[in-house]
Amino acid sequence: MLDFSKSKIFLIIFSIVLFYVCFIFYSDLEIFLKIYSQINLSYLFLIFSLLPLTLFIRSRSQSILLNSIGINLSIKQNYHLFLTGLSMSITPIGFGQVIKSHFLENKYGHSISKSLPLVFVERLLDFIAIICLLWISLIFYFSNDTLIILLISTSILFSLFLLLRFKKFIIKIQTIIKNNSFLSKKFPNFEEFNYSLMKLLTLKISIKTILLISLVTALEGMMIYVGFLSFNIDLGYFESIQLFYTSVLVGIFSFLPGGIGITEGSFVLMLVKQNFEFVIASSLIIFLRLITIWSVTIIGFIATPLFSRK
C-alpha cells in the first residue's frame, strides 16, 4: 500500500510552492503580474462554470466502477468520496487517491483489498482518455513531439493491458507478495484485489467508463482552450489541448508529484519553439495548472475533513 503521511504531503506541497515561486521570479515577476492583470475575467467565469460539471461527470464514472465490484453508494456518498480522493491528486500519478480505499473501509466496511483496484483503473482510464484525445488532435494539428510521446505512451498502455490479461504474470505477482512479509501485510488479500481488478477491466465496464472519461477529458480540454483565450492566444481547440496534454503525459512519466517541473518545462519549451516569449509561456502554464490539477486538489483538501466528520 502506498504510504503518504502528513509530513510527506506537507513536503510535497512545500516543494511545489517553492518551485512556482522560483519559476515566477525567473520568468520576471513584474511582467508576470502585468500579464495576469490583463486576463479577461469573462473567460474565468466560463472556466469555473465548467469545472463543477467535469467533476460531477468524473464522479459518475467512479460510481460505475464501484458498482461493478459490488460497492453501492448514494449519489451524495459517491460524490463525497470522489472529492476526498482529489486531495491526493498531487501525489505521483495520483496514486495517493488510495485514501478512498481507507474511507470505504472505515465508513462502509468494504475491505481495502476489494476497493484498491479502483484507483489503479481510474488512473489507467485517465491515461487512455488523454492518449485517445491526443491521437484525434493530430488529425487537425500535427506535431512531431506529440507523435513521439504518443507512440511511447501507446506502447506502454498496450504492454500494461497484455500483462494484466496474462494469468502467469498475475500468479507471479501473487507469489512474490505472499512470500514477502512486508508486502503480505500491505496486501492482506491479493485474491480479492485481483478479483476486483478483473471485474473493473471487463469489456463492458471498460468501454462504458472510457467513453464517459473521454467525454469529460474533452470537456476539460475546452477549459484549457478557454485558458489560452484568456491570455489572448488563439491556437484553436486541438492545438491548445495538444500542447497541454502532451506536457501532462511527459509529467506523468517523470513520476514526480503532479509532474511538477517536468510538465511546466515541456509546455514552455514547446511554446518557445513556436516563437512565444518565455514569460508568456510560463505565465500561461501556471494558469492552466491552477485551473486543472491545483484547483481540484484544493477542493479535495477542503472536502476531506468535512467528509471525515460525517
Task: Name every residue whose Cβ is closer than 8 Å to that of residue 292 and which is 6 or more positions away in sequence.
Answer: 220, 223, 224
Q: Residue 6: is its pLDDT beyond 60?
A: no
Percent share of the chain, pLDDT over 90 = 36
If one compares 99 and 75, the residue with the highest pLDDT of the two is 75
- pLDDT tens for residues 148-203? 999 999 998 888 777 776 666 666 666 655 665 544 565 657 778 878 888 888 88
SS3 string of the chain?
Answer: CCCCCHHHHHHHHHHHHHHHHHHHHHHCHHHHHHHHHCCCHHHHHHHHHHHHHHHHHHHHHHHHHHHHCCCCCCHHHHHHHHHHHHCCCCCECCHHHHHHHHHHHHHHCCCHHHHCHHHHHHHHHHHHHHHHHHHHHHHHCCCHHHHHHHHHHHHHHHHHHHHHHCHHHHHHHHHHHHCCHHHHHHCCCHHHHHHHHHHHCCHHHHHHHHHHHHHHHHHHHHHHHHHHHHCCCCCCHHHHHHHHHHHHHHHHHHCCECCCCHHHHHHHHHHHHCCCCHHHHHHHHHHHHHHHHHHHHHHHHHHHHHHHHC
Distance CA 71, CA 104 (A): 9
Q: C-alpha cell of 89?
A: 491528486
Q: Which neighbouring-strand residues pair with 92?
A: 257
Cβ(88)–Cβ(97) below 8 Å: yes
Distance CA 137, CA 134 (A): 5
Highest mean predicted confidence (pLDDT) among 116-120, 136-140, 166-170, 187-191:
136-140
pLDDT at residue number 261 = 85
Burial of 147 (0-12, 13-18, 19+ CB in 10 A): middle
- pLDDT tens for residues 28-82? 777 788 888 888 888 989 998 999 999 999 999 999 999 999 999 999 889 988 9
Cβ(153)–Cβ(251) below 8 Å: no
- pLDDT tens for residues 220-235? 999 999 999 999 999 9
Phi, psi of 257 (to 5 degrees): -55, 115
Determine the straight-line distance between the first and last CA of the chain, rounded to whole angstroms: 25
Q: Residue 27: is its pLDDT beyond 90?
A: no
pLDDT at residue number 9 = 65
pLDDT at residue number 243 = 96
Q: C-alpha cell of 68?
A: 461493478
Positive/negative CA dihedral, 252, 253, 254, 257: positive
